[in-house]
Amino acid sequence: MKILITGGAGFIGSHLAERLISEGHEVVALDDFSTGSRANVAAIEGNPAFSLIEGTILDMPLVQRLVDDADFVIHLAAAVGVKLIMDEPSRSILTNVTGTEHVLKAALKELKPTFIASTSEVYGKAAKFPFSEDDDLTIGATKNLRWSYACAKTLDEFLALSYAREVDLPVTVLRFFNTTGPRQTGRYGMVLPNFVESALDGRPLKVHGSGEQSRCFGHVADVVEGMMRLMETPEAKGQVFNIGNDEEVTIRGLAEKVIATTQSTSAIDLVPYESVYPVGFEDMTRRIPDVSKLERFTGFRPRRSLQTIIDDIVAEKRAARAAA
């Protein structure tokens, strides 16, 4: 198949592109390099099965042309990362809502199979754990702009599922939970790459808030495997799936694991949220996915351990430093 990946030079997109090409598919990646980079796709850029188009999902004629030429569309392009969302909430809304609208409208023309990337953020402040795809969503007040991203992605989901119902668009929504691994940058507030870089430098690991808030981290290779399985599952059309690992860790515990893995002398500094983020930020105490639906539909669930994820990121960062 010829597969279009928006955000194809990004963290998840580049890993997915490599996997698809390795299995005989042709990949066209659309990226504006706002968060992605050519370095992410350096290993495949010379491959005749790979094409990289510099452009934006806000360019509707370009999106339409690329979707028309594809057999399958995977829409990953988005404004992501807590820091970016808090610093530029309007950009987050515009990119995530208008961009997704463009992709879906382009897919409608010939009812192209489409994956729409969503996020665990849509669960908001829900207090029922683990989070299941059919659970109610609990979003914070509009004055807290942290929730602008969650609302934008929720609207993306509603639009995608509306087209699935109205015109039978073969679309699937993927809710990612803290995907991490090699190639992820800490530039936009991604916690694990930042912790690893700090530990390797011997700098303090800055933990926001009390550090007792917990998260679940999924290896990018597991996320890609889940996506590949769903592509081969016709019953996934019109459905929403959590994709993530359900191994829970506190952020302080994560920092401790990184320090132990790197054998660093770094300390852990607790940093108040208000000294990091502008007014309008609030955090959640827990975020845990129920991945039983993914396993039920595909026979697969992410199982790479948190320690494996940390080991892979540490190895990548050390190799980059050795090559510099």
- Catalytic site positions: 149
Q: Are 270 and 256 in contact (CB under 8 A)?
A: no
319: burial class by Cβ within 10 Å (0-12, 13-18, 19+)?
A: exposed
> From start to end of the chain, where are the E strands?
2-6, 26-31, 50-54, 72-75, 114-119, 171-176, 179-180, 205-208, 214-216, 218-219, 240-243, 248-250, 268-271
Burial status of residue 166 (CB atoms within 10 A of its CB: 0-12, 13-18, 19 or more): exposed
Q: For tokens 């609207």, name the residue.
A: 155
Distance CA 180, CA 188 (A): 13
Asked whether 303 and 245 are in contact (CB, 8 A), the reply is: yes
Element (H, E) at 131: none
Q: Is the four-CA dihedral 264, 265, 266, 269 of positive or negative sign?
A: positive
